[in-house]
Structure 1
Amino acid sequence: MAIQKPSHTFTKIHLKALHTNNFKILFALSFTVFINTFSFAQDIQKPTDSIKPTVKDSLVINAKDIIKSEAPAEKSQDTTATDSIKPKKETLEHIVKYKATDYTSFNQKKQKLYLYNEAEIDYGDINIKSGSITIDYSTNTVYAKGILDSIGEYSQAPIFTQGANIVEPDSIIFNTKSEKALIYNSKTEQSGGTVIAQITKKENDSVYFIHRGKYTTAEDLEDPEYYILLRKAKVVPGKKIVTGLANLFIYDVPTPIGLPFGFFPQSEKQTSGVIIPSFGEQNDRGYFLQNGGYYFAISDYVDLAVLGDYYTNGSYGLRLENTYAKRYKFRGNVGFRYENLITSERGFPDYGKSTVYNLRWSHSQDSKANPSSRFSASVNLGSSTYYRTSLNQVNSGAFLNNTLASSVSYSKTFEGEPSVNFSVTATHSQNTNTEQINMTLPTFQGNVSRIFPFAPKVGSKKGIIQNINLQYSVRGENRIQTTDSLFFKKEMFDDAKAGFQHTVPLSTNFKVFKHFSLSASTSLNEVWTFKTIDRYYDNVNDEVITETINGFDSFRTYNFSTSLGTTIYGMFNFKKEGENPKIHAIRHVIRPSISYNINPAFDKYYDTYEVVSADGLTTEDVEFTRFEQGLFGTPSKNFSSSMGISIANNFEAKVRDKDSTATEPKKIILLNNLNFSTSYNFAGDSLQWSPVRVSGGTQLFENKLSLNFGATLDPYALDNNNNRIDKFNIDNGGSLFRLTSANLTASYSLSGGKGDQKNDSESGAAIQENLRSGGRDDDLFGVSEDFSRFNEEKGDKEEEEPSEFYNFKIPWSLRLAYAVNYSNSRRQSEISSHSLMFSGDIELSPKWSVGASSGYDLKDKGFTYTQLRFERDLLSWRMNFSWVPFSARSSWNFFIGIKSNILKDLKYEKRRQPDQRL
């Protein structure tokens, strides 16, 4: 019996465990622990020899057999009767998992489980980590708190996680049955912000009630530089925060900025909402609201922002900004801006009214989307005066643009041997000064890749025959030239020109005398046009009449060219054995080339008409071609036989490396290129030599200084009227060449302190706005002043250890651009343009930066467009000030606001806009 009773008891425990009952589970758990403890506490007796029975005793029963025999048999379901009483809902719906580092103790009398040091409990989607956790099974509550470490510091504070919500309180009481909780001194992150609450009541997994909570986006949650005090609030994680009386505190100092009630949307996804405008005053247009509107979160792939400006004198503006993207497919944005500008008041003599608009579209296709076809777009068109007259400060960095350009293209490649590809492109070019617009709607281009008809199937190509290759290309255009006043009107198509050009180049190349490369080519061209002209002299009206003839026509031309070139290497060694001079060697690479071109005369495409002179007796024959107004030029009527000469030079040096551990000398570039070119026309009757053109460039000081220069040298002299004559300048008492023009451009980038790694071409959204508007990829002409739009938080900065000494390495950067042009084609000997542009930034402290962009016209003695910028990083806030101190666009703009996107409308902006000039 001593054996049977424990076995029966064990069997009952096994059966009862199938039912979920708190008390009996705990009873079974405690009893099992007690039995195991009692059993392991006994000394196990050493086995002794015993007389084994030869016959099995029927009274001896194996415990395993009892468990097996007493297992209940499976009962079949009674089909005639079912139990109508529903089973009682289990108290625990999930399995409770727990662990701790130091100890796990269960008090059977109090029905409490104690977990200490790095304790953790899992219940469904709920996870609690804490220094100390107490589970009260009688009340179904969990109490978690931190512990005191060896030095008396409160550590291992609870971390309560339910789904994606994480709460970090000082302590927490949680009911496993109702899933309600009381949370003390909690910190909860909600969509980029943090809610710090003294007492939080968790109603369920989707609703929290807080008392005297602080909402902030500050990084230092122990001492936030600002917060919004929520005296009573309801939090729905991931959706919203609804609060009663709330006001702004800055470093625990209350401010009068507050609301009687508030609503803070909280969403991980983009949502629609109102965009708060900025306000101010403009000199002659009164008060205004600017950049206010509504944001439409249409889908995960498309959005739309509708923004507007309004001035009290009646002026207004409208902006539509759309962004779309699909991963691994494409991305782009579309923007349309319209402004109705009114000056002064109706009835006054200076009253004026004008409308300007601008359309921008940018589209790029992911390279993974389709390797054989591609679609792209870059559109920037509109009123020529838009950037100069726009009142919106977002256009500040683009008002100096002189050209608007657009291109929309689609290309397709058909793989094979040979491959075939084509593209269809629509282009637009607009001069904002002359208001002239040139468009192609569309341009078609197709070509067949290079074919080597005599090349071997395997191995390399050798000789003149095997290197013979040909191509085919076709280009078709529909070109339109118009002005601003006729843009998007039917009149713009009246003078449209269309045509096609077919080209078949045939070429080959081979070696001559081992070191010379000879190439020869011929090109066949055919031009199709759909409009030609006819010209005759009208005797009655004494004028030349030009008529346009609609209809298909074509002409064919061909030419021949050949070139011979080689490469010469020269080395000047300065290093001697046993010495280590500063300059080891200078390398000079020369690439001379001579070419010969023949262009036959196609005078068969030319006609003549007679013009009667003023005395009415003599006549004069005037030549013309009916293809004069064609897109692809006219056939040449003059025979041309010319020779071209060019010499390209490159200079490099090997110098001693400053690094004493380096084993090899350092290679530097002295001159990237130094080129000379000219030509001689054998068929010309005079002025057969062309001017010598010189160009070159180099980079110095570890590529920080970029220099480019050019000059034109004319061998012919000038007469008394400053016209070129067929006489060499040296024979006319002058030098060998006459300098007719020269230019020099230089750009220099400097940086110091900790700003050496700064990339100015990627300095943020303001530079991107410049590029989209057709401006520069730097800040030499200034940047956009819409601080509220570019108010995103910057990347995390590395923490710096404070030093008791002053850090003299102040980060700074400086960009210089210098340009000078000299003209002397008619003995004017003048500097046609001479300017210096510069921009720079200085980080006076880790939180203070100052920048400026300006320039000086050395010829006209005056400063160009100048912009001064000041920025202060206020941790969670950002303060900017931009100032244009003089010029017609004299203005300033002050902004202070929160960096976080969720509270970016909490801002203050004040500005003085420039006077409008029509």
Structure 2
Amino acid sequence: MLLTAITFITDAKYKSPEPFFKLLTACTDTTIKNDTVIKTAKDTSIHNTGDSATLKDTSGTIITVDTLNYSKDSIDAPIDYSAEDSGVLIIKDKKFMLYGKAKAKHADIALDANTIIYDQATQVITAYGGTDTSLGALNKPKLVQGETESTSDTIAFNMKNQRGLTKNTYLKEGEMFVAAQRFKKISKDEGFGYRTTFTTCNLDTPHFDFRAKKIKIINNKIAVSGPAYPEFEGVPMPIAIPFGIFPLNRGRHSGLLPPQFASSQDFGLGLEGLGYYKVLSDNYDVTIRGNIYSYGGWSVNITPDYYKRYKYKGNLNLAIQKTKILNSSPSSKEEFTTSNSFFITWTHSRDPKARPGTSFSASVRAGSTKYNQYVTNNSYTNFQNQLSSSITWSKNWSQGKYNLSVSANHDQNNNLGLVNLRIPTVNFSATTLYPLQPKDFVGIPKWYQKLGVSYTGTVLNQMSFYDSAFSFNKLLDTAQWGVEHRIPISLTLPPLGPFTVSPSISYSERWYGQILNKRWDDKTDSLITTIQRGFYTAREVSFGISANTRIFGTFNFPKSKGIKAIRHEVKPFISMSYKPDLVSQYYKTVQIDSSGENFSTYSVLQGGVLGTYSQGKFGGLSFGIDNLLEMKVKDKKDTSASATKKIRLIDGLGVTGGYNLIADSLNWSPFSFSLRSTLFDKINITGSASMDPYGVDTFGRRVNRLLWKEGKIGRLTNGSLAISTSLKSKSKDGKTDKERIPVDETLTPDEQLQQLEYVRNNPSEFVDFDIPWNVSLSFSLSFYRTLSPNLKDYVTSISSNLSVNGDFSLTPKWKIGGNTYFDFKTAKIQQLSMFITREMHCWQLAINVTPVGLYRSFNITLNPKSGILRDLRINRSRFFYSQ
């Protein structure tokens, strides 16, 4: 213990010398520490109090010394350095040299070279590369400052004023690569190049570049050059540009949006996409673009965007269009067809965390019915005839027990020109309440305590008009309103073995603001309809009880090497219900032809915003069955002997029907069939059909004649079938679809749809050469029977179409693809678009052709991929409007 104590005392008295390398950065020859007193040889004492020190000599004279005065050649931050060979310090000349893979880092500056020399007196760092008789140049100086990287033969850099001179420099600034014979930095962010070439191609020998004698670069802002000459594969072209301006801004910044040239025999010569982008603040910006054509047509798009994190986000697009098309038909009296139209798109969403319990969202797509027809080079928009909008505010109370929503909705059919406005629509709902359940209970509730009551109320207001004949008075004439109340009562009983039994009671009431009266007019020999406004009510009550269960069956194949088992699940249900006829007074019979022998029954409440209740009493059964079929097979991708996987053969195959026990005729209701399947995880199949067991008369009306008594199964009244699949080869890079197409979570669903729409309209710009081929097929078939307006005849409508979309690689650098839409009813190709593109590393060549459709067009574009040179393009486009 004594020896240990002595050792501690000895170590405490020992004063270690200052590190040798700190002599280069020391402020004075003697370091003065705070609150210390040092005795000199002349018995002069120095007392340091923090910012200054006082000295007293033998005569008592007081001398003040400022301890914060640094040497003029000291650095403002430490330097981290290393070298593989050696480091040499010359104290007299204040120079420090590093040899062999030397590295030095000071603040935001990093330097790698074979040799680095630092002169403290001048604050200049000089770096050189090395040579090797077999390998040539070694460790060329590489300087990284902020986001700027440069590689040179020689670097001389002043650390104090950030000025420097480099020789044979290869500089990377953003997307631009600059090679300069000499490059001079005059500040941290500005530099000049002499005898330079600049490009966006990252190869050592670029595919293309521009050669200029002088260039100035301002980091993260702009690069400006004098006269420049383009070169391709090192071969100069006999053309020149008088000057070059290349924006290097990162992030959002305001600026002009250059146009592209277009030519059309219908619109004339034109400039498309001319505009301006303005950053208003960190949360708001606006884009203005326009098209102008020589025949007098033009269009303007104003698109503000806004986004505030944890608050809201959205965008608005207002498009105004004046179309002037040259009439190609010789029979036309007018030289031009002129149309004025507009379109507005608005999406808005609020972050749920901004105001918990309250939400506001908007999705608006509305405008003139002729707008989509005159949009050029967008076949998808040209055939989009159904538009809809919704603006909704909602609020809930008591942890979601009560919900209120107020919305404004709109839909329009561009073919008919009919626009429907539902302003406002109010919904209020209360979740299921259990009045017999005690407020605080322990254990499992009794069966009667599961009696639940809920409420849903809806207020609807609707106005309709044709945009070609709009007037405010006509709009008020079409105004309708309606109110609906629903009060369902449910009770869940304990399971009865494998069966689940649920009784229910439902009450519904509707309020109407008008009724329709129809009568046959012998003078005009036609059916006349009149509207009678007022306040009318209708009610419906139903009582029911239902039971359902699930039945499982498995068939094993123990000796099979492929299929191990097939599993079948059956889900039957049956229900009994009773509904009295409370709306018989609203159903009337009207003569429908001049013979006086044919009549039709209609509801005076039809045509309203709420619809009508069904006529007659119902007391009977409703039943149905659904099936699930899956197969268990050996997993060939897993080497273990017991590895298996499930394959769904049928996701659902069901049928539902009903029988009315108290009706005097037409007791059976139509049977509904449904099918859902995903074969081999590739082919999606959905189908549905409705079959009526009764026959019809000459007017297509149901009569009390069962078809199965005549040897027929039934009469199909409507049905649909849709088959789709998407096949593609394995990717060369092994990435999944999620890794290949990342989702931007800041975009609203409508904005993501807009991006997908842009990709669909410009497929050649988004070709993935890592996937050799892919194809998507979609087939749909539907038919239905509807009653004609004369209430006499039923009309059968059938529609079917085939959609094909895909691409494949002709060679590793060439890809061809397209999409088409074939309508079997008209036996015509309604739309066809094709593209061919060439992979050129830093360039892209795209050819788009639309030979069939409302607009027939072709477009050839050759441009660099880099964003800063995107407007340096060769573009040739033509489009033709099919009137």
TM-score (norm 2): 0.83
Would the alpha carbon gap of residues 489 and 225 (structure 1) be closer, same or farther in structure 2, given more than 3 Å must change? farther
| Aligned mates of 1:18, 1:888 — CA distance in 2 | 82
| Aligned mates of 1:855, 1:723 — CA distance in 2 | 36
In structure 2, give the amino acid aligned to 1:323: D
Are residues 1:641 and 2:628 paired?
Answer: no
Deviations 1:859-918 (A, max 9, x none): 54433311111122221222111112345532211111122222211111111102252x
| Aligned mates of 1:670, 1:259 — CA distance in 2 | 65
Contact 2:587 2:615 in 1 (8 A): no
Give the deviation of 1:361 after TM superposition: 1.5
Are residues 1:898 and 2:876 paired?
Answer: no
Contact 2:349 2:748 in 1 (8 A): no
Give the deviation of 1:135 after TM superposition: 2.1
Three-state SS of the structure 2 residue aligned to 1:509 is coil
TM alignment of 1:135-214, pairs within 5 A? 135-137=118-120, 139-148=122-131, 151-214=134-197
Deviations 1:510-537 (A, max 9, x none): 1453121111111233334555789999
TM alignment of 1:254-333, pairs within 5 A? 254-256=236-238, 258-333=240-315
| Aligned mates of 1:137, 1:761 — CA distance in 2 | 51
Contact 1:567 1:589 in 2 (8 A): yes
Match of 2:466 among 471, 479, 483: 483
Match of 2:215 among 190, 208, 233: 233
Residue 46 of structure 2: aligned partner? 72
Match of 1:337 among 316, 319, 324: 319
Deviations 1:594-638 (A, max 9, x none): 122322232597599999x999xx9xx999988666533456663
Are residues 1:656 and 2:639 paired?
Answer: no
Would the alpha carbon gap of residues 722 and 263 (structure 1) be closer, same or farther in structure 2, given more than 3 Å must change? closer
| Aligned mates of 1:414, 1:864 — CA distance in 2 | 51
Match of 2:374 among 389, 392, 402: 389
Contact 1:398 1:773 in 2 (8 A): no
In structure 2, give the amino acid aligned to 1:844: L
Contact 2:208 2:233 in 1 (8 A): yes
Match of 1:839 among 805, 821, 827: 805
| Aligned mates of 1:193, 1:172 — CA distance in 2 | 21
Give the deviation of 1:650 after TM superposition: 1.1
Are residues 1:871 and 2:837 paired?
Answer: yes
Contact 1:538 1:545 in 2 (8 A): no
Contact 1:771 1:777 in 2 (8 A): no
TM alignment of 1:666-677, pairs within 5 A? 666-677=645-656
Contact 1:401 1:774 in 2 (8 A): no
Number of residues of Structure 1 aligned to a counterpart in Structure 2? 836
Are residues 1:91 and 2:76 paired?
Answer: no
Would the alpha carbon gap of residues 564 and 205 (structure 1) be closer, same or farther in structure 2, given more than 3 Å must change? same
Q: Which has the higher contact order (CA 8 A, sep 6+)?
A: 1
Are residues 1:572 and 2:555 paired?
Answer: yes
| Aligned mates of 1:874, 1:328 — CA distance in 2 | 42
| Aligned mates of 2:783, 2:583 — CA distance in 1 | 40
Contact 1:770 1:776 in 2 (8 A): no
Give the deviation of 1:109 after TM superposition: 5.9
Would the alpha carbon gap of residues 70 and 238 (structure 1) be closer, same or farther in structure 2, given more than 3 Å must change? same
In structure 2, give the amino acid aligned to 1:682: L
| Aligned mates of 2:739, 2:87 — CA distance in 1 | 60
Residue 351 of structure 1: aligned partner? 336
Would the alpha carbon gap of residues 588 and 244 (structure 1) be closer, same or farther in structure 2, given more than 3 Å must change? same
Are residues 1:717 and 2:695 paired?
Answer: yes
| Aligned mates of 2:352, 2:411 — CA distance in 1 | 27
| Aligned mates of 1:730, 1:530 — CA distance in 2 | 44
Worse-superposed segment, 661-670 or 712-721: 712-721
Residue 405 of structure 1: aligned partner? 388
Give the deviation of 1:112 after TM superposition: 3.1
TM alignment of 1:752-791, pairs within 5 A? 752-754=729-731, 759=737, 783-785=760-762
Three-state SS of the structure 2 residue aligned to 1:754 is coil
| Aligned mates of 1:325, 1:569 — CA distance in 2 | 53
Are residues 1:420 and 2:402 paired?
Answer: yes
| Aligned mates of 1:19, 1:743 — CA distance in 2 | 87
| Aligned mates of 2:47, 2:716 — CA distance in 1 | 115
Would the alpha carbon gap of residues 598 and 295 (structure 1) be closer, same or farther in structure 2, given more than 3 Å must change? same
Worse-superposed segment, 142-151 or 354-363: 142-151
Would the alpha carbon gap of residues 439 and 561 (structure 1) be closer, same or farther in structure 2, given more than 3 Å must change? farther
| Aligned mates of 1:137, 1:739 — CA distance in 2 | 96
Contact 2:256 2:275 in 1 (8 A): yes
Residue 913 of structure 1: aligned partner? 879
Give the deviation of 1:762 after TM superposition: 9.1
Worse-superposed segment, 270-279 or 374-383: 374-383
Deviations 1:535-585 (A, max 9, x none): 9999999998956445x665554322221211122222333xxx3453332
Structure 2: tracts of 5 or more residues without a match: 1-14, 32-36, 57-61, 788-792
Contact 1:380 1:773 in 2 (8 A): no
In structure 2, give the amino acid aligned to 1:214: T
Residue 559 of structure 1: aligned partner? 542
| Aligned mates of 1:206, 1:842 — CA distance in 2 | 47
| Aligned mates of 2:173, 2:221 — CA distance in 1 | 9
Contact 2:588 2:604 in 1 (8 A): no
Residue 47 of structure 1: aligned partner? none
Contact 2:45 2:55 in 1 (8 A): no
CA RMSD of aligned residues (A): 4.6
Contact 2:54 2:63 in 1 (8 A): no
Contact 1:835 1:858 in 2 (8 A): yes
- When you count strand as a share of all residues, which structure comes out higher? 2
Are residues 1:849 and 2:815 paired?
Answer: yes
Would the alpha carbon gap of residues 308 and 758 (structure 1) be closer, same or farther in structure 2, given more than 3 Å must change? farther
Worse-superposed segment, 270-279 or 251-260: 251-260
| Aligned mates of 1:698, 1:188 — CA distance in 2 | 58
Contact 1:839 1:852 in 2 (8 A): yes
| Aligned mates of 1:320, 1:614 — CA distance in 2 | 58
Deviations 1:823-869 (A, max 9, x none): 79999999933432211111334432211212444454433311111
Match of 1:744 among 696, 716, 721: 721
Deviations 1:56-98 (A, max 9, x none): xxxxxxx9976896552456699x99999x9898233525525
Match of 2:359 among 356, 370, 374: 374
